[in-house]
């Protein structure tokens, strides 16, 4: 059993780490205040192949695996979890289009998406159906040559009123998951509108808004795959999305711990450096152990998804739950180690704590992750 990264994987990690340190970290606070991520930053990420990490090379993708992506998002999130997570959501959409869409859609959309010339948003959650995603009510009616007409709304959409492409899970048939399809809605479509930008605890650099469809007309050719399979596509996309969100939490927490360790090597109390107090030594040792355990668990889940292992979905759910819980706890403890200074924006840890809190909620709450695991354990 080999736990080492290959030379190629190490190069991916180092590239993302350097990009984050040079192009993201120095400006993360400014983007948080502005409430948006600059387009030129995303295009620069696209030039490095980060706009289509898993997409096939034919359409401009990098054709990397899930473990490769996990390393990339862990590295990027050390600079800013919010920006890294935004890039990961875009890649989840690109992956679904690459895997399930028609060749016409791929030829028309993927090159720009892979270059980050266009940005994609994932639209599943609705105001009345969060964790119960299969109960979504946004409906698309096929009206012959007119195409599909959509009515409904999506909530908490990263990139709402910012993105160019909205990958929408909507109801084309009966109630339940078998009546759900996936349709690409482009920002130019009539009947597409947005709510006000949300005011959030964290992830403030990401523009987030409700996406609304009022007799929104979409060409019939924008259907992804076949009708009735959209929920399956969405859940398959979430396996990788959960790994990415966990990776972003892991990188953010590691950054918080590293900042705390540096602080302890400089800060004095009661005549001694904080690093010399055994109680604090024990605390950071436990924090490091938690992150290392989370890292190995995450990498194993990513490997299973790459191998199409039958229990991959279960491991993705377990990893998402375990890693995001551990990461938030470590980041919160890191803030405590800095005392009052940890509460100040100047030291950067309070932002990490705010950003990581939502990782326990999105891509399926950690309570839902427990349900997924338990159901797989009791499956016949």
Of 227, 254, 285, the residue that ends a domain is: 227
Q: What is the CATH number of the domain that holds 254?
A: 1.20.140.10
Short-list 102, 96, 100, 183, CA closest to 139? 183
What interhelical angle do 230-264 and 312-337 show, nearest 10? 30
Q: What is the CATH number of the domain that holds 80?
A: 1.10.540.10
284-314 tens-digit pLDDT: 999 999 999 999 999 999 999 999 999 999 9
Residue 130 — pLDDT band, cuts 50, 70, 90? Answer: confident
**Do 301 and 335 fall into the same domain?**
yes
**Do 215 and 314 fall into the same domain?**
no
CA gap 89, 336 in Å, rounded: 31
Task: Single out the catalytic residue among 32, 210, 363, 367.
Answer: 363
**Do 82 and 141 fall into the same domain?**
no
* Domain contains 2: no
84-106 tens-digit pLDDT: 999 999 999 999 999 999 999 99
Q: What is the pLDDT of residue 1?
A: 66
DSSP reduced 3-state for 56: coil
**Do 222 and 292 fall into the same domain?**
no
Rounded to an integer, the average pLDDT of 349-375 is 97
**Do 311 and 240 fall into the same domain?**
yes
* Domain contains 246: yes
| Contact call for residues 52 and 109 (beta carbons, < 8 A) | no
CA gap 133, 362 in Å, rounded: 12
**Do 64 and 19 fall into the same domain?**
yes
**Do 368 and 292 fall into the same domain?**
yes
The number of beta carbons lying within 10 Å of the beta carbon of residue 39 is: 12
Q: What is the DSSP letter of 133?
A: G
Total structural domains in the chain?
Answer: 3
CA gap 120, 182 in Å, rounded: 14
199-236 tens-digit pLDDT: 999 999 999 999 999 999 999 999 999 999 999 999 99
Q: What is the CATH number of the domain that holds 131?
A: 2.40.110.10
**Do 243 and 366 fall into the same domain?**
yes
Of 210, 227, 244, the residue that ends a domain is: 227
* Domain contains 1: no
**Do 238 and 315 fall into the same domain?**
yes
* Domain contains 223: yes
**Do 156 and 101 fall into the same domain?**
no
Of 114, 145, 164, the residue that ends a domain is: 114
CA gap 147, 224 in Å, rounded: 13
Q: What is the pLDDT of residue 132?
A: 86
* Domain contains 286: yes
Short-list 358, 348, 316, 350, CA closest to 158? 358
Q: Is the dihedral of CA 144, 147, 151, 152 positive or negative?
A: positive
CA gap 252, 245 in Å, rounded: 11
Active site residue 363: yes
Chain centroid to Cα 157, Å, comes to 12
Domain interval for residue 90? 7-114
**Do 235 and 371 fall into the same domain?**
yes
**Do 151 and 94 fall into the same domain?**
no
Q: What percent of the chain has pLDDT over 70?
A: 100
Residues 222, 162, 142: CA angle, nearest 5 degrees: 25
CA gap 213, 194 in Å, rounded: 9
CA gap 123, 224 in Å, rounded: 14
């Amino acid at each position: 059993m080999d736990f080492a990264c290959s030379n190629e994987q190490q190069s991916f990690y180092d590239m993302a780490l350097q990009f984050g340190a040079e192009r993201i970290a120095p400006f993360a606070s400014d983007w948080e205040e502005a409430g948006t991520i600059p387009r030129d930053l995303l295009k620069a990420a696209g030039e490095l192949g980060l706009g289509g990490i898993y997409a096939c090379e034919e359409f401009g993708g990098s054709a990397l695996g899930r473990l490769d992506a996990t390393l990339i998002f862990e590295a990027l999130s050390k600079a800013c979890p919010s920006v890294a997570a935004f890039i990961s959501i875009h890649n989840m959409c690109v992956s679904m289009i690459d895997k399930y869409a028609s060749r016409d859609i791929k030829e028309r959309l993927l090159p720009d998406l892979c270059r980050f010339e266009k940005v994609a948003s994932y639209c599943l959650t609705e105001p009345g159906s969060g964790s119960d995603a299969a109960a979504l009510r946004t409906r698309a009616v096929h009206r012959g040559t007119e195409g599909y007409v959509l009515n409904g709304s999506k909530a908490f959409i990263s990139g709402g009123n910012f993105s160019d492409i909205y990958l929408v899970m909507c109801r084309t048939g009966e109630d339940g998951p078998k009546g759900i399809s996936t349709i690409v809605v482009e920002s130019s479509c009539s009947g597409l509108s947005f709510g006000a930008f949300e005011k959030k605890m964290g992830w403030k650099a990401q523009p987030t808004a409700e996406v609304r469809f009022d007799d929104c007309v979409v060409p019939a050719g924008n259907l992804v795959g076949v009708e009735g399979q959209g929920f399956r596509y969405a859940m398959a996309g979430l396996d990788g999305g959960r790994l990415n969100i966990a990776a972003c939490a892991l990188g953010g927490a590691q950054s918080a711990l590293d900042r705390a360790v540096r602080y302890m090597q400089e800060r004095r109390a009661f005549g001694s450096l904080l690093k010399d107090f055994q109680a604090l030594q024990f605390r950071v040792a436990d924090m490091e152990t938690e992150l290392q355990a989370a890292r190995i668990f995450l990498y194993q889940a990513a490997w299973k998804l790459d191998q199409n292992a039958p229990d991959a979905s279960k491991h993705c759910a377990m990893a998402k739950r375990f890693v995001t819980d551990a990461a938030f706890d470590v980041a919160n403890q890191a803030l405590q180690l800095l005392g009052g200074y940890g509460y100040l924006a100047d030291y950067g840890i309070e932002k990490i704590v705010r950003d990581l809190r939502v990782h326990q909620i999105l891509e399926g709450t950690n309570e839902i992750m427990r349900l997924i695991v338990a159901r797989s354990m009791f499956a016949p």
